[in-house]
Structure 1
Amino acid sequence: MRILSGAGQDVEKEMIRQKIIPILHKMPHLLRLAIAVIFVQLLFWLLIKPAVIGTPSPGFETIDGYDYAEARLKEPTFAAVDSAKFAAIDDMPAWHCCETGYRAFRYSFELDEVPEKGLGLSPHVRADNFSIYVNGNFIAGTGRLELPDHTYDGLYRKTYHIPVDAVNKGANQVTFIMVRDGIPYFDYFAPILGEYSHIQSNMAHTEFLTEGYSYALIAAIAMVALFSFIFFLISGRDYGALWLFLLAVALAGISHYYVWTDPPFGGQARFAYFCALTLFANFAWFGWANAWSRDRIRWIMPLAFLVFVCALFAVVYCLYNLPIGAGYDRAGEVLFYTGIAFSGATGARLIWNFRDLREDRYLEAAIALLLVSLLALQVITEMTDALNMGYASRTQPFLIIGIAIAFFARRVTLFRTSAQINDLLQAQLDERTGELAVAHDREKRLVRQQALDEERQRIMRDMHDGLGSHLMSMMMMAKRGNGEYSDYADGLQSVIDEMRLMIDSMDSVGESLRAALTVFKKRIVPRAQEAGFAVNWSDDGTAILPQYNPRQILQVFRILQEALTNALKHSGGDTIDVTIGAAPGNPNTTQITIADNGGGIAQAASGRSGRGLRNMRARATGIEAEFDIVSSDDGTRVLLTMAGHAE
């Protein structure tokens, strides 16, 4: 039992070791990821969030209003206010639905003393455009109010100055003349009113977020879009850069929507344009998350695009086919639930990427995890009707700028790393090239020395087989005393011929068979003529001669030399024909024929050749050529057939 227990403990320890060791190996990686996540979270919650997400109500002293009322106007003039029928508003904030057109909103306030610098008013109403009157005096208003060619200057949050001569000690009245087209809601909030410099200083940050901040974001996001698009074109198939470009375009369009005061379209078309941008931004966030993740899911993007198209179609249908109030509300619901769906899908896709903790793009991963947390907060606040602080919607531009910075910083790092690797590889290549050059020179010297050694061995063999055999024969005849003067003359002639062959094989003649044949012709013609023979040489130059080495060329020389010597000595004729050309029926071979007009050789016809013929046949076999001899009463023909592509 103790043996089994010990074995079980060993198995358990091994299982624990296999689980813990990989985690320990990942500790430096996880530590870097944790540091990046903590850094990004602190940066967002301590710096970015307070800067772009304010409190819902001003945290400073203001003048309270009372007697809130609103009325429908026939035209956007103060004269129409006098004849309008106002209805009291009991609770603030309030809104009016569901019609477009002109409305007036007014309230009263009390002043114990008129401030020396006058009052500051930050309009807290929502309409396409408006003008402000205080005690019947025109205070502010830009753009156009007349439908259908009105402008959208009401998008801006400004602090308007109410001069001293426009207000009274005691009761005062503020009147807003407003216009709406497309969005069927007029929204009224409690006024932000007080001493001018006090209101101006406290509202400066809010006003910057509604105007200057938007332009800065548009410029920054447009740069992200530009660089992402350029990088996508350069890289070819970096879908992360493509989706970053599409997302930047959508977010830049949304930011531009809030500062575009005079678009070429209005009403439902303008709101449909906003919905399309918002839906596409949600779709692009999901596309980026899928492309950024290590394992890109290809089939899911067509499904996401189908959701985007269906949602956009539903929005357009609601706006143009339902009553104005119901159409706006249903379109908003489609936008709301589609946004929640894309937010959840984006968060899930990013979380799935961290399932094995192998992500090493630390800064991008930290921003992605921040996006997941912000999307979760956005979904929770929207689903529970809690106060929506715009954690995701207001900070999306910062997120995409941060992602772009991390994305391009990593690409620059990779570029620098690849450049360093290229430099290292180039240095190693140069070093290796130098080593190869030295080795090549050494190899050339060895090959040259080997060639010289082989040439010496060849010359020694040729001297032994050629000169040695002839001289040995002459020496034996001299010792025996049975040689004639003609025998010694023939022997010396053979020695001279052999020496010439050896010299030719060492000269440039040995470089090609055609050059060797040219030299052979120059040698045999004078010798044959001295012996009383005429030589007819025929070579049209079209034959495909084999590429023989010097030793093989020497063997051809010896065969032809032996054939010529036999014709001169034994034929009994007076003419020798040498023909060089292609073999009959085979243009890829070369045939050299030496023929005489003598009486023939009986041994050749019967197949019983002498020693010289056996040597010629053996030499032909050694160079993979065919040797044949044909003898008749009209003379003898020696045929040497060689393959045109022999080596």
Structure 2
Amino acid sequence: MALLPILRLVCLSALWLAMGCGVTACGAAHQDPSRPSAPDPANQVQVLQQALAVVRPDGAGQGQAPQPAEVALPHDWDRIYPGRNGTATYRLAFPYRGGGQDIPALYLARAANSFEMHLNGKLLAASGAMDAPALYGGQRPLYIPVPEAMLRPENELTITIAARANAKAGLSRVEFGPGQLVHSHYLGALWFRVIGPLVITALSLLLTAISLLIWWRQRDPLFGLYALAEIAWSVSVVERLLDSAPLPLHAWQVLVLASRTLFIVATARFALIIIDVRSPWPAWLVTAFLWIKLPLIVVMTFLFNAPSLKLFDWAINMLLACGIATALAWAALRRPSRERLVLAATVALASALSTADMIRIQFSNDFYWDTSLTKYVSQLFSLSMAWLLVDRYTRTTSTLAELNRNLDRKVAQKEEELHLLYAHSREIEREQATLRERGRIMRDMHDGLGSTLVGALSLLRSGHGSPMVLQQHLQQALDALKLSVDAMQDTGGDLAVVLGNLRYRLRARLEAAKLRVDWQVERLPPVAGLTPQIVRELQYLLLEALSNVMQHAGGATVQVVARSFAGTSVEGEAILIEIRDDGHGFDAASGAPGHGLANMRSRAAAIGGELSIASSERGTTVSLLLYPARWAEGEAA
């Protein structure tokens, strides 16, 4: 099949997708900024969790100078000052004993949205504009090498951030220690929060392109829903890779929230089609979910980080997940199948992970859900849907291949039957042709040979027939018999051979009638379709014409003319045969006694020819115009 390599690519991409999920999960387990940590004397990595902060939210009292206050890190701006911009300055103290071979470094999970970092009064690092912080600025992990020349036995690290409302601003814990150890923590967070989503997004887009290609060729709604879900998920996680919104803030937040909702709806519809739900309530549940989520998206656009809204949004998502899981479980119990069991297990696992995340994060300091695995639960659905599509397509392909094999066997069987029927029909046609040939021979013998012999026998019985008359009758009978035999011989489509045989058979009678033969037969082209029936009709027609010359014309010469000439574009080449005598003629308009002329016209019509007779005192001319193209088309009898 043409799509089989594409499906192999889907399987390979799904495998890499699973590996990406595993890597990010490992990164989450390795680096959890919400987990308390103390300085480790063995490796001398210090985790700074307390800071003296001076916070300046917009709209605060202008007459009073903010007072420094002790704060715990991470310090989540949106939790303390929701919907407000501002700045904050954090002072962290830490010792440095030196003596290590590795260059010391700092690691921060977040310093958002813009920041300036000073160590002992000297600028160490900076990112973004302090007067216009970016929407997603400073949210990616930071690794900052520290020159030993800037370090003292007792150090003060000053970090000033510019916070943007509802943009996950704040400062995480700060790690300080040997560069190699700190860098390992940084890489774990980088993989979990940046590289992992980037790799998985790229693979999702690849799977989307493959699914859209298959959907375009087959119009299978399953592939369309899968591609829609992958696109929606990619849009929902792309914010982790940006510094600023590509659209106006509220429009971008609506797009991100709507894409997450679209992913859930497309996944639910995919599951309902796979399990073939007979009851209408799951579809109603999806519709109700949409009606609730649409206004909720608008509200969350302006209160993005409100804990109550997050909890309500999670509850709505879990309600739909539980409803779909119930439908899956019910369908799996009533009509078990691999597809239903896989989807039920995926929904159950996703629901369990989401619930566990919600419980864990509610009792931790991860206000921004940085360590949540829920955002990667979508990969479980992506992997399950990819496997289901490949499995269904493979089974469908196998079924179609088996149907094709069965169809080929049936076609071969029918062809064999048709071949036998054709052979039988050909046998019947040959038998019918033989019967028709026998009938013609019997009719010719009855009408020609039989009638001549009966006439001779009547003359003999009456006693009035002279030997000469009896001889003529018997000679005519013998000539008719010989012509019937000649008609069955293969002439190779040569009319000159037919005319030559007729001359040979009538030579004795012509000499007895004292007629000189003027033979004017040109070289004639081969004729297709010159059957024995046509030869017989032609011979009897010419025999009748020559017999009339011998018996009634009273002339001294008979001329036989045959030539071909170009006919019309429709009829093609034509052949003209003429029998001329120099006898006394007859009145052709009044006809002649007997059936001779009528039989001649009947035989001419039977072979598709045109017969004309012209007679005067100087002789008679019988003209026969033949169109061989009619014989090839089967128009002649």
- Shorter chain as denominator, the TM-score bin is 0.5 to 0.7
Match of 1:158 among 137, 142, 149: 142
Rate the CA distance shift 1:238–1:225 in 2: closer, same or farther, 3 A. same
Say whether the 8 Å CA contact 1:290–1:297 is kept in structure 2: no
Flag the 1:503–1:333 CA change in 2: closer, same or farther, 3 A.
farther
Which amino acid is the alignment partner of residue 256 of structure 2? Answer: F
8 Å CA contact retained: 2:24, 2:192: no
Which residue is equivalent to 2:108?
A: 123
Query: Structure 1 residues 61 and 516, CA, compared in 2 at 3 Å: closer, same or farther?
Result: farther
Map 1:504-515 → 2, pairs under 5 A: 504=487, 506-507=489-490
Q: Distance in 1 between matches of 2:326 and 2:546?
A: 96
Distance 1:473 1:274 in 2: 113
Q: In the alignment, is residue 278 of structure 1 matched against residue 260 of structure 2?
A: yes
1:372 matched to 2:347: yes
- Matched-pair contact (CA < 8 Å) for 1:68–1:89: yes
Select which of 452, 472, 488 maps to 1:489: 472
Give the 3 Å change call, closer, same or farther, for CA 360–561 of structure 1 in structure 2: farther
Q: Which of 196, 210, 216 is residue 213 of structure 1 equivalent to?
A: 196
Deviation at 1:255, TM superposition (A): 3.4
Structure 1 residue 488: Cα displacement: 2.8
Match of 2:162 among 156, 160, 179: 179
User: Which deviations, in whole Å up to 9, do the C-alpha atoms of 1:190-225 show, x marking residues without a partner?
Assistant: 555566655444554233212322332233223222
CA distance in 2, matches of 1:334, 1:154: 25
Residues 52 and 90 in structure 2, CA contact (< 8 A), matched pair in contact too: yes
Secondary structure in 2 matching 1:145: coil
**Is residue 115–residue 138 contact of structure 2 (8 Å, CA) maintained in 1?**
yes
Secondary structure in structure 2 of the residue aligned to 1:61: coil
Helix, strand or coil at the partner of 1:156: coil
Report if the CA contact (8 A) 1:126-1:187 is conserved: yes
The counterpart of 2:442, out of the listed 461, 467, 476, is 461
2:615 matched to which residue of 1?
none
Conservation of the 8 A alpha-carbon contact between 2:117 and 2:125: yes
Query: Corresponding residue for 2:619?
Result: none
* SS, match of residue 129 in structure 2: coil
Distance in 1 (CA, whole Å) between partners of 2:66 and 2:162 is 17
Decide whether aligned partners of structure 1 residues 378 and 119 sit closer, same or farther in structure 2, where only a CA change above 3 A counts: same
**1:328–1:487: structure 2 CA closer, same or farther, 3 Å change rule?**
same
Distance 1:563 1:354 in 2: 99
Q: Whole-Å Cα distance in 2 between the matches of residues 417 and 120 of structure 1?
A: 61
SS in 1 for 2:303: helix
Are 1:251 and 2:226 an aligned pair? no
- 2:526 equivalent in structure 1: none
1:202 and 1:149 map into 2 onto residues whose CA distance is: 26
Letter aligned with residue 132 of structure 2? P
Q: Which of 51, 55, 69 is the aligned partner of 1:71?
A: 55
Matched residues, number? 561
What corresponds to 2:520 in structure 1? none
Rounded to whole Å, the distance in 2 between the matches of 1:47 and 1:376 is: 18
Report the Cα distance in structure 1 between the residues aligned to 2:500 and 2:278, rounded to whole angstroms.
Answer: 77
After TM superposition, the score normalised by the length of structure 1 is 0.60
1:243 CA displacement: 2.7
**Alignment of 1:136 onto 2:121:** yes
Which residue, out of 205, 217, 220, partners 1:222? 205
Tell me the equivalent position of 1:51.
26
1:178: Cα distance to partner? 1.6
Helix, strand or coil: the match of 1:154?
Answer: coil
Measured in 2, the distance between the counterparts of 1:385 and 1:241 equals 36
CA distance in 1, matches of 2:292, 2:326: 26
SS in 2 for 1:229: helix
Conservation of the 8 A alpha-carbon contact between 1:69 and 1:106: yes
CA spacing shift, 1:56–1:185, aligned 2, 3 Å: closer
CA contact (8 A) 2:267 2:381 kept: no
Give the distance between the partners of 2:431 and 2:346, measured in 1 at CA.
74
- CA gap of 1:600–1:120, structure 2 versus 1, over 3 A, is closer
- In 2 relative to 1, CA 264–67 (structure 1 residues): closer, same or farther, beyond 3 Å? closer
Unpaired runs of at least 5, structure 2: 1-14, 40-46, 59-63, 363-368, 516-528, 557-578, 609-629
Quick one: which of 35, 38, 45 aligns to 1:61? 38
Quick one: which amino acid aligns to residue 215 of structure 1? L
Counterpart check, 1:239 vs 2:224: no
Distance 2:459 2:349 in 1: 117
1:73: how far off?
7.7
Partner of 1:106: 90
User: Hey, what's the Cα distance between the residues in 2 that align with 1:441 and 1:600?
Assistant: 51
Give, in whole Å, the separation in 2 of the partners of 1:186 and 1:564.
Answer: 123
Q: Structure 1 residues 489, 50: closer, same or farther in 2, change over 3 A? A: same
Rate the CA distance shift 1:318–1:524 in 2: closer, same or farther, 3 A.
farther
Give the direction of change, closer, same or farther, for the CA distance of 1:306–1:360 in structure 2 (3 Å limit): closer
In 2 relative to 1, CA 313–125 (structure 1 residues): closer, same or farther, beyond 3 Å?
A: same
Q: Over the residues paired in the alignment, what is the CA RMSD in angstroms?
A: 6.8
How far 1:373 sits from its partner (Å)?
1.6
The Cα of 1:399 is off from its aligned counterpart by 4.0
Compared CA separation, residues 295 and 479, structure 1 to 2 (3 A): farther
Equivalent in 88, 101, 104 of residue 69 of structure 2: 88
Shift of 1:85: 2.2
**Shift of the alpha carbon at 1:258?**
0.6
1:185/1:468 Cα in 2 relative to 1: closer, same or farther (>3 Å)?
closer
| Partners of 1:147 and 1:597 in 2: CA distance | 131
Shift of 1:344: 4.9
- Measured against aligned partners, the alpha-carbon deviations of 1:320-349 in whole angstroms (never above 9, x if no partner) come to xxxxxxx22499988876676566556645
Task: Report 1:440-589 matches (<5 A).
Answer: 450=431, 454=435, 457=438, 461=442, 464-465=445-446, 466-468=448-450, 470-471=452-453, 473-474=455-456, 477-478=459-460, 481=463, 482-504=465-487, 506-507=489-490, 551=533, 554=536
AA in 2 matched with 1:377: A
Q: Within 1, Cα distance between the matches of 2:326 and 2:552?
A: 104
CA offset at residue 492 of structure 1? Answer: 1.6
SS of 1:175 mapped into structure 2: strand
